[in-house]
A and B are shown apart, each in its own frame.
Chain A
């Protein structure tokens, strides 16, 4: 089933009287259960693409169809979106991921089910022992796990990640990718991830998207091999 359908997408911004294209004529389909890795050089429009899918950036032309409610989409941002001096415990942050806009008339307090969901997510991310700790005093890897737990707490159908392993050490990165792979295979969550880690992309991805302002490549890892795993748009 086609879950996300991007059709002739342009994203632009204006500098004075000039229109600058960040993304030009992008057309791609993402199916349910796929593990999609988006790669490309800096400034290639990777973050813009996922932010446009999430509705954080406006579309200049074209359309994006998402065949599920926004309640089933989750997001792990590139730079930790939470300021380090923000006073919140790990539990509070993970619980906040259970919020939904499904029922507008529902009281906005957390119920027992939400608390169980949060505990399960923290268990999956291996951060149960950190539940009462302040988010800002955790290490980078632990913070990333907390945000990951928040992202998976609702068992989303689509999980979008923007360079989730930036700044993490080798072991933590490995563990994180394995965690992600488990979520993809056991919960059938569709994953869209921006990554510069080509080894991980080759190992885990079912589809590779290469951007350089426009779409340079979209296909399986086997097809990508024909291009010698070229990661930048220039040689494709």
Chain B
């Protein structure tokens, strides 16, 4: 495939929709990823995407647009996971494990009872750029704008809660409210991104960019900015790679993220060695 053909494909309406939603989702996921990985909540996205899979299977079976079914179900699940994670008796990872395996088996059972595994379910799990119609585009833009606006508005609060939760609580900040806000925003990002990335791979958008960016920055502000840049860059490269090599979109983007992670780790090591030597 030459450059002209790629440019041609990129100008198709479905591709334009995919690119708009992809960039928005990558941006949202990168912002939230910063808070989630610093607070060790990174796997919440993974648990929620499995819940999303169950919701998508349910939506397909009853014949309703997936985003309308998935949005409320994933939001409710995110609140329940966060609530259980706060309990001193149950660890957060156990709560996520229970939800994710439970939801996955629920989705598989519903699919098996309806019409068995087909291309729809395959594309839900591993992502497809053909998945977005015009309504999905409008809803996705709306939800992404909510996530980005809320993150910017509460940026300083999210910083203090990520840095030192005890101090934040001691000066009177309502930690529980912000924990549920983080859950809500993660749920919205997962819902918007799972059609394109696939339910099994959406959490990589949350984890990779922030983790890669963390290697290079000294401040929280730069972490947020660099993480967003890495996320969008990896999305665009991954999308092109998936076109050129005919890969499922989600898998292509994850592959690019892994390559960038390895490259950045090597560069970071070399920088450290140079610093020690000098």
**Residues of A that sit less than 8 Å from B by CB:** 54-56, 69-71, 73-75, 77, 81-83, 85-89, 92-93, 96-97, 99-101, 107-110, 132-134, 137, 150, 160
Are B171's CB and A70's CB within 8 A? Answer: yes
User: Considering the chains assembled together, what is the distance between the CA atoms of A218 and B178 in angstroms?
Assistant: 39
Count chain B residues whose beta carbon lies closer than 8 angstroms to a beta carbon of A. 29
Nearest CB of B to A80, in Å: 9
Are A108's CB and B153's CB within 8 A? Answer: yes
Contact indicator per residue, chain B 162-195, by CB within 8 Å of chain A (1) or not (0): 1111111111111000000000000000000000
Closest to A151 in B: B167
Are A99's CB and B219's CB within 8 A? Answer: no
In the complex, given contacts A83-B38, A88-B163, A100-B172, what are 14 additional A-B residue pairs having Cβ atoms less than 8 angstroms apart?
A73-B170, A75-B171, A77-B164, A82-B164, A86-B38, A86-B163, A87-B219, A87-B223, A92-B159, A93-B163, A99-B157, A108-B156, A132-B218, A150-B167
- Note all chain B residues with C-beta closer than 8 A to A56: 166, 169-170
Are A54's CB and B218's CB within 8 A? Answer: no
Choice from A70, A97, A108, A160 contacting B172 with Cβ under 8 Å: A70
Closest to B88 in A: A13
- Note all chain B residues with C-beta closer than 8 A to A100: 171-172
User: Considering the chains assembled together, what is the distance between the CA atoms of A83 and B159 in angstroms?
Assistant: 13
User: Considering the chains assembled together, what is the distance between the CA atoms of A146 and B156 in angstroms?
Assistant: 18
B130-179 with Cβ < 8 A to chain A:
153-157, 159-160, 162-174
Main secondary structure of the interface of B (DSSP, over half): helix
Closest to A104 in B: B174
- Given A81-B164, A134-B219, the answer on whether A99 and B156 have CB atoms closer than 8 Å is yes
Are B219's CB and A88's CB within 8 A? Answer: yes
Nearest CB of A to B147, in Å: 17
User: Considering the chains assembled together, what is the distance between the CA atoms of A1 and B157 in angstroms?
Assistant: 33
User: Considering the chains assembled together, what is the distance between the CA atoms of A124 and B220 in angstroms?
Assistant: 24
User: Considering the chains assembled together, what is the distance between the CA atoms of A81 and B39 in angstroms?
Assistant: 12
Are B169's CB and A55's CB within 8 A? Answer: yes
Are B170's CB and A87's CB within 8 A? Answer: no
